[in-house]
Structure 1
Amino acid sequence: MIKPISLLSTLALLGVSYSAYALPLNNIQLPAGFTIDVYAENVENARQMALGENGTVFVGSRKAGNVYALIDSDNNFKVDKKIVIATDLFMPSGLAYLNGSLYVAEVDKIWRYPDIEQSLPSIPKPELVYDKLPNKSHHGWKFITFGPDGKLYIPVGAPCNVCKSELPFASILQLDLETKQTITIAQGVRNSVGFDFHPQTGELWFTDNGRDMMGDDLPDDELNRVSQTGQHFGFPYIHNNNIADPEFTNPEIAKLNTPPALTLGAHVAALGMEFYQGKQFPAEYKNTILIAQHGSWNRTNKVGYRIMQVALEGNKVIDYKPFATGWLEGEQSWGRPVDVMTLTDGSILVSDDFANAVYRISYTKQ
């Protein structure tokens, strides 16, 4: 008997987004007491999010080239107004918000939209903040955030699957917005599209996507911790703890490799992450890390397409388990999580660049 193909599977095979169709949120599996709802629909290619002081949710995109402002004017956790802030930008995936201004990262530039929430629905004229980033599009899209030091942290991915490249490629930079000076915070980082600062130690933790074309199960994506400025994380010579690259060798640099705090699985495409600091979830979620896994594209059997939870004891990982699953049905996916962000009420938002949606996950006490 031939198994019938669902509408969702058919649309996935055709590469069609589901924004015009009812999203099958009943398929999402969450721990007891949690609920997922659609916060915003028709947000084309939704990537990193940033939260304004007045509750505006700003969303970047990669393929669409747009930046959006999502407004929930009646506070019912359903967006009723979407404003397109910018169009035709060069992969404006990364956003950050500080002191009333929205910062937008193109591949090669950082822009600032001053006093943006006070201006909306009018859009303020963007100010060019920094234009010294490489213009290579391969792994060039950004995830940006401000650190506890007030500096802007910017990744510069390797311009290849695997290759030798000069700094600032394969690094995470710290940018001083006043002096325009940069410091290399981490190097040997193939492609980080998510990081956050430990709420107690202030240390930078980041996800890193492992290289392709070493098979289905090598190497793993990584969760890393920066314990000193300029640390090396192995790329392109060594992967994970001690996996030598088959194409590139440098024993001296390989010795500098900082082992990951956690290996996340090969090809899961770990992107946005944050330390949960809200007050809505149960107490055991405090200071745990939530990681959006975008999902594999070149693996025999697909993996990822989920939100994972990492529990720590000090700097040691003590648990790694699924938090939200169901965007992958068999070998077909109907959504791809990109970023996670906590709202002021303690619920979290999850962006999805395939379903063109933003979800809200909330907890109701049992």
Structure 2
Amino acid sequence: MIKPTTLLTALTCGLGLSFSVSALPLNKIQLPQGFSIDIYADNIENARQMALGDKGTVFVGSRKAGNVYALIDSDNDYKADKQIVIAKDLFMPSGLAFHNGSLYVAEVDKIWRYPNIENSLPDIPTPELVYDKLPNKAHHGWKFIAFGPDGHLYIPVGAPCNVCESELPFASILKLNIDTKQTTIVAKGVRNSVGFDFHPVTGDLWFTDNGRDMMGDDLPDDELNHVTQTGQHFGFPYVHNTDIGDPDFSNTKTAKLNTPPTLALGAHVAALGMEFYQGTLFPTTYHHSIFIAQHGSWNRTNKVGYRIMQVVLEGNKVIDYQPFATGWLDGEQSWGRPVDVMTLTDGSILVSDDFANAVYRISYTKQ
């Protein structure tokens, strides 16, 4: 059950809405049988990517707020009872990663490291600058970051526009060797990836990519992509999805390099954070499925998205794509916007929401 707390203010896209957390209509969230949703933390302004510390600390970034948070569940009741603001007034610090005891924070143009952070809290360690050679363009500049199986830090650099031709590293995903500071372009032609994960068996990179705007309500789809070799091209800005040519830009030679998506996710759904489920709490049918947070459309005649989707794989082949959690969109009115998905050590998952300023926990009870 949701505990009454203080007033929660949610601001997005120029709209001001106020909720008390006790009034958040979680009863509207539809989940498969046996699953339930609750509030893990509230009053987390503009909650975006999450990262899990070795001792269970949940770190949360933000975009508009410019803050980084640490959430601590000290009594193990799966509700955060302590909130520490680690940083303020950063340049869209949306992306976080936890690695070897340190928290990595991605601003638009810099990567910071907070060493040995869980052993320091509530004191905040002095941040160390890891890398400062990223472009400083705010348009699609906020990051989603993660360490790969190779120990390198993977960083997307979005296109600085709705659609345009741009020089690398724009419209790419790169990886950074945090020791040597060398970077490698992993994927090209990627308009705006704000979510990726590594296959638990093969270690391959899979990522979501947001399609361009202003091609109508139904084109092009957001994508789920699979990188099978370093430097692959995924079409932007010349071709979208499998074979949709861009009306404004063409390059026949580069278009031929297009790697079709593994799955078309729907136009304007704003697919963001994704994760391969590797927990043991959910039924075995969910093992190694992909959960994708769809933030929801902002410029479509009828709204779409605002949900968590499940992608079921057989090897590298998609065999099912279905809703897992819905209800943040009620008709044409939305009261929440999922951003990221992260598995806790008990196998439940957390979902961040930058509209309701909350983090939810979805758990499962055997029937």
Q: TM-score range by the shorter chain?
A: over 0.9
Instruction: Tell me, in whole angstroms, the C-alpha distance in 2 between the residues paired with 1:144 and 1:19.
Output: 31
Q: Tell me if 1:89 matches 2:90.
A: yes
Offset of 1:19 from its aligned partner?
A: 5.0
- Residue aligning to 1:111: 112
Which region of structure 1 is more displaced relative to structure 2, 311-320 or 12-21?
A: 12-21
- Residue aligning to 2:45: 44
Determine helix, strand or coil for the equivalent of 2:142: coil
Query: What whole-Å deviation, never above 9, does each CA across 1:17-76 have from its counterpart, x for those lacking one?
Result: 435552110000000000000000000000000000000000000000000000000000
- Residue aligning to 2:263: 262
- Are the aligned partners of 1:18 and 1:334 in contact in 2 as well (CA < 8 Å)? no
Determine helix, strand or coil for the equivalent of 2:16: coil
> Percent sequence identity over matched residues?
82
Aligned length: 357
- Residue aligning to 1:5: none
Determine helix, strand or coil for the equivalent of 1:18: strand
Query: What whole-Å deviation, never above 9, does each CA across 1:158-190 have from its counterpart, x for those lacking one?
Result: 000000000000000010001000000000000
Instruction: Tell me, in whole angstroms, the C-alpha distance in 2 between the residues paired with 1:38 and 1:21.
Output: 9
Q: Quickly say closer, same or farther: Cα 1:12–1:102, change in 2 above 3 A.
A: closer
Counterpart of 1:344, as a letter, is T
- Residue aligning to 1:292: 293
Offset of 1:14 from its aligned partner?
A: 4.5
Instruction: Tell me, in whole angstroms, the C-alpha distance in 2 between the residues paired with 1:88 and 1:280.
Output: 38
- Residue aligning to 1:281: 282
Determine helix, strand or coil for the equivalent of 1:112: strand
Determine helix, strand or coil for the equivalent of 2:253: helix
- Residue aligning to 1:126: 127
Q: Tell me if 1:140 matches 2:114.
A: no
Counterpart of 2:96, as a letter, is L
- Residue aligning to 2:77: 76
Give the 5 Å matches for 1:1-366: 14-18=15-19, 22-366=23-367
Instruction: Tell me, in whole angstroms, the C-alpha distance in 2 between the residues paired with 1:257 and 1:171.
Output: 13
Counterpart of 2:180, as a letter, is T
Offset of 1:15 from its aligned partner?
A: 2.6
Instruction: Tell me, in whole angstroms, the C-alpha distance in 2 between the residues paired with 1:347 and 1:171.
Output: 32
Q: Quickly say closer, same or farther: Cα 1:84–1:312, change in 2 above 3 A.
A: same
Query: What whole-Å deviation, never above 9, does each CA across 1:288-344 have from its counterpart, x for those lacking one?
Result: 000000000000000000000000111110000000000000000000000000000
Instruction: Tell me, in whole angstroms, the C-alpha distance in 1 between the residues paired with 2:109 and 2:81.
Output: 33
Which region of structure 1 is more displaced relative to structure 2, 11-20 or 317-326?
A: 11-20
Instruction: Tell me, in whole angstroms, the C-alpha distance in 2 between the residues paired with 1:263 and 1:35.
Output: 28
Instruction: Tell me, in whole angstroms, the C-alpha distance in 2 between the residues paired with 1:65 and 1:19.
Output: 23
Q: Quickly say closer, same or farther: Cα 1:88–1:228, change in 2 above 3 A.
A: same
Q: Which ranges in structure 2 are unaligned for 5 or more consecutive residues? A: 1-8
Counterpart of 2:224, as a letter, is L
Instruction: Tell me, in whole angstroms, the C-alpha distance in 2 between the residues paired with 1:16 and 1:320.
Output: 32
- Residue aligning to 2:3: none
Instruction: Tell me, in whole angstroms, the C-alpha distance in 1 between the residues paired with 2:118 and 2:22.
Output: 31
- Are the aligned partners of 1:12 and 1:334 in contact in 2 as well (CA < 8 Å)? no
Instruction: Tell me, in whole angstroms, the C-alpha distance in 2 between the residues paired with 1:22 and 1:357.
Output: 12
Offset of 1:16 from its aligned partner?
A: 1.4
TM-score, normalised on structure 1? 0.96
Determine helix, strand or coil for the equivalent of 1:31: coil
Instruction: Tell me, in whole angstroms, the C-alpha distance in 2 between the residues paired with 1:56 and 1:256.
Output: 42
Offset of 1:12 from its aligned partner?
A: 10
Q: Which ranges in structure 1 are unaligned for 5 or more consecutive residues? A: 1-7
Determine helix, strand or coil for the equivalent of 2:309: strand
Instruction: Tell me, in whole angstroms, the C-alpha distance in 2 between the residues paired with 1:41 and 1:305.
Output: 19
Q: Quickly say closer, same or farther: Cα 1:12–1:155, change in 2 above 3 A.
A: closer
Offset of 1:13 from its aligned partner?
A: 9.4
Determine helix, strand or coil for the equivalent of 1:359: strand
Instruction: Tell me, in whole angstroms, the C-alpha distance in 2 between the residues paired with 1:103 and 1:117.
Output: 13
Counterpart of 2:337, as a letter, is R
Instruction: Tell me, in whole angstroms, the C-alpha distance in 1 between the residues paired with 2:141 and 2:63.
Output: 10
Counterpart of 1:295, as a letter, is G
Instruction: Tell me, in whole angstroms, the C-alpha distance in 2 between the residues paired with 1:19 and 1:159.
Output: 36
- Residue aligning to 2:6: none
Offset of 1:102 from its aligned partner?
A: 0.1
Instruction: Tell me, in whole angstroms, the C-alpha distance in 2 between the residues paired with 1:97 and 1:106.
Output: 15
